[in-house]
């Protein structure tokens, strides 16, 4: 059932408004009122609670043609390989797989934001243990494949194919996990480094992010080697070790190593960790990530005179910074859906294949198609995006909006001393169609207002300098880790010549394993993976967790928190998927 338009509640806090200039004219408002639009709906429109109904009738749109589903794709029959694949469904394989993944979880491989240089900071040494575990657990891989250790702990496995004219397939995962705060350990059902198996789930840090994917890849390749399969297309396995702190030591070096060996645009396809399955609108969707939002952190520093707190200034540096933070959080970035955003395709797939798809969304989609190519005011509210966000909540809204999160704040050292320096970090994930400059411009404008009010100078995003921070000032700086929105992976169901595409192989493999009722649609990641360093190696990059268990109530919701776990059925299905995907990429004509 569709959600109705929410009325504002008396005395309820006003929602954060979008920071976008409206292109609304009195003529537009008059038209809305003439159509009988109630005043509360105008309020809802202004506060991003709901959207105005379309002013014109929607065009008749063939949504099915916008969401063509590739046929299920299975590898050719082969006696020995078919027998090995059937083994994946046995109790014997399940028990052995549980032991392998549980053992991987028990290797404590946390990565931290403040790690020092490799070879100097002993916290890196845990990855020696993890590499040793992999070598012991997968002996065929380590005896038959070329193994390169890149920047000490990066692992690159190469299985040479017989046809050097075929671009390689690259599978990725990362060895590291986010830390477990010691104070949270008592809240875990099973200890976070136990790898406990309860008959359904394997528990522990890294079980779902993403030692499960790494072990599934290794199990697949080990079993293919054991079965005597010989690939035509070279297969690469690349495992970074600091993905959870941005991959500068791991994936950054591994991607350069691969590029030095093969060159730019040298790979057929990359599959890394990422999004998975979701049941919505009465339909099961598989949503491999074909795009990522951009990224930037902004540091805001306030410098003001110190002194004894018994004779305080009217506003301390903490108060001034708090005022600026309040202004930042009072407005959100605008919600808008560019047509190259994969979520636009997801909506079309919902309209085409989902019985419970919202009538209002379908009408707005039709109107978007009808008005395609017409000049529109960029600042005009995006009714389709606003309605999708209203129905889907924050998880959907932030697929279509630059996010801001005030995450870290420091300042003050003594209760009787005025703080001379305070600093906050604001994290941003940049929407498709925008750049980090949108963030810098907005924060500069807000900071200028606060600086003027308190007679402070503003230094916004100035070039790096060895000079001391200026006194009586607000200073805005950005981190070195700035990332533009990722290039969007093509998601054609067939190439122009009629051959398979990497997307069609991925989608066909998924529908072969899970059934034709699964609708495969491109997805978008709100976070970033190690693929940020691999953009120059191929345009076919998928952030994708291929395991699925319809009875799993944990899923991705358990990662990075207490009680992280993974369903063993999910894990075994991931092995089956990688098995079929590698063989499908090897057998068919794939145009890259």
In a domain, 44, yes or no: yes
Helix (H) or strand (E) holding 111: none
Is 560 annotated among the ligand-binding residues?
Answer: yes
pLDDT for 52 equals 42
Residue whose tokens read 């390989």: 81
In a domain, 31, yes or no: yes
CATH number at residue 441: 3.30.70.360
Is 129 annotated among the ligand-binding residues?
Answer: no
Three-state DSSP state, 119: coil
CA angle in degrees (0–180, nearest 5) for 512-515-518: 110
Residues 135 and 283 placed together within one structural domain of the fold? yes
Residues 28 and 127 placed together within one structural domain of the fold? no
**Catalytic residue set:** 176, 243
Neighbours of 399 (CB within 10 A): 26
Residues 306 and 175 placed together within one structural domain of the fold? no
Residues 23 and 104 placed together within one structural domain of the fold? no
In 3D space, the residue among 297, 300, 334 whose CA is nearest the CA of residue 317 turns out to be: 300
Q: Which parts of the chain sit beneath pLDDT 70? A: 1-59, 372-379, 556
Compute the distance between CA of residue 105 and CA of residue 194 in angstroms, rounded to an integer.
7
In a domain, 68, yes or no: no
In a domain, 273, yes or no: yes
Residues 138 and 239 placed together within one structural domain of the fold? yes
Domain boundary among 478, 508, 543: 478
Residues 200 and 122 placed together within one structural domain of the fold? yes
pLDDT for 18 equals 53
Residue 417 makes CB contacts below 8 A (sequence gap 6+) with 306, 307, 308, 309
In a domain, 346, yes or no: no
Residues 316 and 464 placed together within one structural domain of the fold? yes
What does the H/E/C string look like for 461-490? Answer: CCCCCCCCCCCCEEEEEECCCCECCCCCCC
In 3D space, the residue among 149, 583, 65 whose CA is nearest the CA of residue 353 turns out to be: 65
- The model's pTM is 0.87
264, 537 contact by CB (below 8 A): yes
In a domain, 427, yes or no: yes
Integer-rounded Cα radius of gyration of the chain: 26
pLDDT for 27 equals 45
Is 550 annotated among the ligand-binding residues?
Answer: no
Residues 312 and 211 placed together within one structural domain of the fold? no
Is 272 annotated among the ligand-binding residues?
Answer: yes
Helix (H) or strand (E) holding 35: none
Neighbour-count burial of 515, counting CB atoms closer than 10 A to its CB (0-12 exposed, 13-18 middle, 19+ buried) = exposed
Which sign, positive or negative, has the C-alpha torsion 47, 48, 51, 52?
positive
Q: How far apart, in Å, are the Cα atoms of 417 and each of 10, 320, 401, 475, 508?
A: 42, 16, 41, 22, 65
In 151-200, beta strands by DSSP E: 154-159, 169-174
Is 244 annotated among the ligand-binding residues?
Answer: yes
Compute the distance between CA of residue 104 and CA of residue 456 in angstroms, rounded to an integer.
53
Domain boundary among 478, 511, 530: 478
Q: How far apart, in Å, are the Cα atoms of 439 and each of 15, 39, 321, 377, 398?
A: 20, 32, 18, 21, 15
Residues 28 and 164 placed together within one structural domain of the fold? no
Across the beta sheet with 289-292, what order do the strands follow? 146-150, 154-159, 235-240, 169-174, 269-275, 541-544, 289-292, 523-525
CATH number at residue 580: 3.40.630.10
SS3 content of the chain, % helix, strand, coil (to 5): 35, 20, 45
Residue whose tokens read 């014997």: 92
pLDDT for 558 equals 86
In a domain, 351, yes or no: no
pLDDT for 61 equals 85
Q: How far apart are the first and last CA of the chain?
A: 42
Neighbours of 78 (CB within 10 A): 14
Residue whose tokens read 């929602």: 15
What does the H/E/C string look like for 533-559? Answer: HCCCCCCCEEEECCCCCCCCCCHHHHC
Residues 41 and 168 placed together within one structural domain of the fold? no
In 3D space, the residue among 175, 176, 169 whose CA is nearest the CA of residue 237 turns out to be: 169
* DSSP classification of residue 510: H
Residues 286 and 303 placed together within one structural domain of the fold? no
Compute the distance between CA of residue 152 and CA of residue 154 in angstroms, rounded to an integer.
6
564, 209 contact by CB (below 8 A): yes
Burial 473-510 (b: 16+ CB within 10 A, else e): ebbbbbeeebbbbbebbebebebeeeebbbbbbbbbbb
Residues 266 and 153 placed together within one structural domain of the fold? yes
In a domain, 66, yes or no: no
Boundaries of domain holding 19: 14-57
Long-range pairs of 327-330 with CB within 8 A, sequence gap ≥ 24: 327/446, 327/449, 327/450, 328/404, 328/406, 328/426, 328/443, 328/446, 329/16, 329/404, 329/406, 330/16, 330/17
Domain boundary among 445, 478, 511: 478
Domains identified in the chain, total number: 3
pLDDT for 30 equals 42
Residue whose tokens read 């397939």: 169
In 3D space, the residue among 20, 10, 13, 34 whose CA is nearest the CA of residue 434 turns out to be: 20
């Amino acid at each position: 059932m569709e959600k109705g338009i929410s009325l504002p509640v008396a005395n309820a806090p006003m929602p954060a408004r979008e920071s976008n200039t409206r292109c609304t004219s009195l003529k537009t408002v008059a038209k809305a009122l003439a159509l009988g639009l109630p005043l509360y709906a105008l309020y809802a429109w202004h506060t991003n609670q709901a959207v105005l109904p379309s002013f014109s009738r929607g065009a008749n749109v063939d949504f099915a043609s916008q969401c063509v589903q590739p046929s299920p794709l299975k590898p050719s029959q082969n006696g020995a390989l078919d027998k090995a694949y059937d083994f994946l469904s046995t109790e014997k394989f399940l028990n052995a797989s549980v032991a392998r993944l549980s053992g991987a979880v028990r290797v404590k491989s946390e990565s931290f934001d403040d790690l020092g240089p490799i070879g100097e900071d002993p916290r890196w040494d845990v990855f020696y243990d993890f590499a040793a575990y992999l070598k012991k657990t997968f002996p065929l891989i380590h005896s038959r494949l070329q193994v390169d250790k890149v920047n000490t702990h990066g692992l690159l496995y190469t299985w040479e194919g017989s046809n050097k004219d075929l671009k390689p397939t690259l599978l990725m995962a990362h060895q590291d996990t986010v830390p477990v705060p010691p104070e949270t350990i008592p809240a875990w059902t099973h200890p976070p480094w136990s790898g406990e198996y309860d008959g359904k789930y394997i528990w522990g840090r890294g079980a779902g992010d993403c030692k499960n994917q790494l072990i599934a890849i290794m199990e697949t390749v080990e079993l293919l080697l054991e079965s005597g399969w010989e690939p035509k297309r070279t297969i690469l396995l690349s495992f970074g070790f600091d993905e959870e702190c941005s991959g500068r030591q791991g994936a950054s070096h591994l991607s350069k190593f691969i590029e030095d060996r093969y060159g730019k645009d040298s790979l057929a396809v990359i599959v890394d960790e990422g999004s998975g399955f979701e049941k919505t609108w009465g339909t099961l969707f598989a949503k491999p990530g074909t795009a990522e939002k951009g990224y930037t952190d902004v540091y805001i520093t306030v410098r003001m005179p110190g002194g004894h707190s018994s004779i305080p200034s009217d506003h301390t540096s903490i108060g001034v910074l708090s005022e600026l933070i309040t202004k930042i959080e009072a407005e959100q970035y605008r919600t808008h859906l560019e047509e190259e955003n994969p979520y636009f395709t997801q909506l079309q797939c919902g309209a085409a294949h989902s019985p419970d798809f919202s009538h209002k969304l379908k009408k707005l989609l039709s109107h978007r198609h009808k008005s395609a190519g017409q000049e529109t005011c960029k600042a005009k509210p995006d009714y389709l995006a606003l309605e999708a966000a209203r129905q889907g909540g924050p998880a959907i809204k932030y697929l279509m909006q630059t996010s801001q999160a005030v995450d870290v704040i420091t300042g003050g050292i003594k209760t009787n001393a005025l703080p001379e320096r305070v600093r906050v970090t604001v994290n941003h994930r940049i929407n498709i169609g925008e750049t980090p400059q949108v963030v810098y411009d907005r924060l500069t404008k807000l900071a200028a207002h606060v600086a003027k009010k308190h007679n402070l100078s503003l230094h916004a995003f100035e070039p790096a300098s060895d000079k001391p921070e200026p006194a009586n000032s607000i200073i805005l700086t950005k981190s070195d880790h700035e990332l533009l929105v990722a290039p969007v992976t093509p998601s054609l169901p067939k190439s122009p010549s009629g051959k398979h595409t990497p997307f069609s192989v991925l989608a066909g493999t998924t529908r072969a394993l899970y059934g034709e009722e699964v609708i495969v649609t491109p997805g978008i990641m709100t976070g970033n993976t190690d693929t940020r360093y691999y953009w120059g190696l191929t345009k076919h990059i998928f952030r994708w967790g291929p395991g699925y268990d319809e009875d799993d109530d944990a899923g991705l919701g358990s990662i990075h928190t207490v009680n992280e776990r993974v369903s063993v059925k999910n894990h075994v299905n991931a092995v089956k998927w990688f098995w079929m995907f590698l063989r499908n990429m090897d057998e068919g004509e794939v145009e890259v």
